[in-house]
Amino acid sequence: MTAGSRLTPREALEPISPRARAAGITVGASLLASGLFVVWAAWHALRCGLAGTAGQTICSRAMGLGGLLSLLGLALAAAGAGILWRTGRRLVDPEGPSGWIAGEGLTVALAGILIALLIPAHHCPAGYEMTQVFHACRALSTQQVPQLILHPPSWIAWRLGIAGAATVAGVVVARWRGLPWPVATIVTAGTVAAATLLLADRSVGLPAI
């Protein structure tokens, strides 16, 4: 028995609607591209070659994060490829079930929430840097007054707003059957792309091209 003979014929699979097919292809392609990009960024971190004690400390952290990120990237790429393959095998029926429409909405919501979580809770004004231990803003120049800001400006409102907006957008994409598929595709691909770039930048840094 060959591998091809064990596959269920396409005609025997339940067909899906055009919007569901577009949703499955969008989610699969977005996850596949995201996973490949994450693996690429992690590979650059794993090849860290800074010299000196400080460089070795930086490389140790970068390589540890790179290893974890590469596993995540491989999982995303495998999931995306699987979704593309399964969606591509199904025939299209205008009256078919919704298929991956709900999954597309869930993808938008989760990617948006990830963006919100990756935004730092606090930030420092120009001319200050965040201290590692106490998370206060320290002046880069001794001429600046104040030299220490104990309560740095907060980005909590932005984080909550983005998480809430992503959840609403995900529900709209999942529940509004009349939403044109190009609009849903742009929202999904854009949200996943933004989350991927921010994840790579906040973990191992974006590789120089």
Q: Is the dihedral of CA 52, 58, 62, 65 positive or negative?
A: positive
The 10 Å CB-count burial string (b at 16+, else e) for 112-123 is bbbbbebeeeee
Q: Do the Cβ atoms of 148 and 127 come closer than 8 Å? A: no
Q: Is the dihedral of CA 170, 176, 177, 182 positive or negative?
A: negative
Closest Cα partner for 127 from 154, 146, 107?
146
Range of the domain at 38: 15-118+177-203
151: tokens are 């309560």
Alpha helices in 90-153 (DSSP H): 101-118
- Local confidence band at 67 (pLDDT 50, 70, 90 cut-offs): confident
On average, the pLDDT of the chain sits at 86
Number of domains making up the chain: 1
Q: What phi and psi values does residue 149 have, to the nearest 5 degrees?
A: -110, 105
pLDDT at 1: 42
pLDDT at 74: 96
Beta strands in the chain (DSSP E): 128-130, 137-139, 148-149
pLDDT digit string, tens, across residues 126-184: 889 888 767 789 899 888 888 888 888 888 999 999 999 999 999 999 998 888 999 99
Q: Is residue 158 part of a domain?
A: no
pLDDT at 135: 78
Q: Is residue 37 part of a domain?
A: yes
Q: Is residue 105 part of a domain?
A: yes
Q: Which own/partner pairs from 128-134 qualify as long-range (CB within 8 Å, at least 24 positions apart)?
A: 128/152
Q: Is residue 149 part of a domain?
A: no
pLDDT digit string, tens, across residues 26-42: 999 999 999 999 999 88
